[in-house]
Amino acid sequence: MRKRLLSAFIALSLLIGANELSAQSAASGTDYRNAIGLGIDFGDGPTLVGISGKHFFTENHVGAAEVMFGDNMTVIQALYQYHKEIEGAAGLRWYAGAGPGVELYKGGSSFLLRPLAGLDFKIANAPLAFSFDWRPAIILDKGSDFEPARFGLGFRFAFN
């Protein structure tokens, strides 16, 4: 089931990316519209690694999705991010946002809420984007929990 879900997500992401790439002209400099790559979620608790994608609906409004694996669990999350450029720092933006997620593990599942704040950096004239954020997890289930010491790293291929 997990392999099918991951395969479907990758195929859909690549299809959307190819469509966007052919539909728009290539951007120069530090702007990009889509990115797909590796996401890492770490801090207190298990380290999760998986596929991470990002799409700029407008200059400031961004949607991100992640499917992460680790410690016999899978986390699927969709995040809204508000991005804003940092004056005088080409390619660097700050962002803040939130989104829901689902944690799947043997014997159960949990619903997550994820506020986040971080930095996004796109290397000028190269298709590489990096991000770092603070992303505490609010876990909602029978034994609700709050994990404040969670962080994320993103290494993505950026394209239009």
For each of the domains in the chain, give its residue range(s) and CATH number, in order of start. 2-159 (2.40.160.20)
Q: Tell me which residue of 31, 38, 70 sits closest to 53, measured CA to CA.
A: 38
Task: State residue 3's pLDDT score.
Answer: 56
pLDDT surpassing 60 at residue 15? no
Q: Which is nearest to 83 in space by CA: 134, 119, 113, 53?
A: 119
Q: What is the pLDDT of residue 78?
A: 98
**pTM above the 0.75 mark?**
yes
pLDDT: which is higher, 9 or 93: 93
Q: Where residue 132 falls among pLDDT bands split at 50, 70, 90?
A: very high
CA distances from 10 to 3, 46, 51, 67, 119 (A): 10, 23, 8, 10, 25
Nearest CA to 121 out of 152, 150, 85 is that of 85
Q: How many CB atoms lie within 10 A of CB 139?
A: 15
CA 89 to chain centre: 22
CA–CA distance, 107 with 151 (Å, rounded to integer): 26
Residue-wise pLDDT tens digits, 38-58:
999 999 989 999 999 999 999
pLDDT of 67 above 70: yes
* pLDDT at residue 22 tops 80: no
Q: Is the pLDDT assigned to residue 18 strictly greater than 50?
A: no
